[in-house]
Amino acid sequence: MKVSFRVAAAVLAVASLSACATITRGSKQKFEITSEPSAAQVVTTLGDKCVTPCNLKLKRKEAFTATFTKDGFETQQVNVRSKFSGGGAAAGAGNILIGGFIGAGVDASSGALNNLEPNPLKVVLKPVAPKVEEPVVAAASPATAASAPAPAADASAAASASTVAPAAASTAPAAAPATAQ
Question: Could you give the angle at which helices 86-98 and 2-17 cross, rounded to 10 degrees?
Answer: 140
User: Residue 72 has what pLDDT?
Assistant: 96
88-128 pLDDT tens trace = 455 555 555 555 555 666 656 666 788 999 999 999 999 99
Closest of 131, 129, 95 to residue 110, by C-alpha:
95
User: What pLDDT is attached to residue 79?
Assistant: 97
* 160: in domain: no
Residue 46 in contact with residue 30, Cβ under 8 Å?
A: no
98 phi, psi to nearest 5 deg: -80, -10
Confidence of residue 168 (pLDDT cuts 50, 70, 90): very low
Residue 16: pLDDT band (50, 70, 90) is very low
Q: Tell which residue, 84, 66, 88, 64, has the closest CA to residue 75.
A: 66
Domain membership flag for residue 116: yes
* pLDDT value of position 159: 47
61 pLDDT exceeds 60?
Answer: yes
pLDDT bracket for residue 3 (50, 70, 90): low
- The reported pLDDT for the residue numbered 82 is 92
If you average pLDDT over residues 61-73, what whole number do you get? 96
| 159 in a structural domain | no
Is there a domain that residue 1 lies in? no
Examine residue 61 and state whether it is found in any structural domain, yes or no.
yes
Q: Count Cβ atoms below 10 Å from residue 61 Cβ, excluding itself.
A: 16
Residue 154 φ then ψ, to 5°: -150, 180
Query: What is the pLDDT at residue 64?
Result: 97
Q: Does some domain include residue 9?
A: no
pLDDT band at 52 (very low <50, low <70, confident <90, very high): very high
For residues 69 and 161, the model is more confident at 69
Establish if 39 belongs to a structural domain: yes
Q: Are the beta carbons of 109 and 22 closer than 8 angstroms?
A: no
Give 150-173 as a DSSP string: PPPSSHHHHHHHT--PPPPPP-SP
| Residue 76 structural domain | 18-124
Percent of the chain with pLDDT over 90: 36
Whether 3 maps to a domain, the answer reads no
- Total count of domains within the chain: 1
Q: Is the pLDDT of residue 18 over 70?
A: no
pTM (predicted TM-score): 0.55
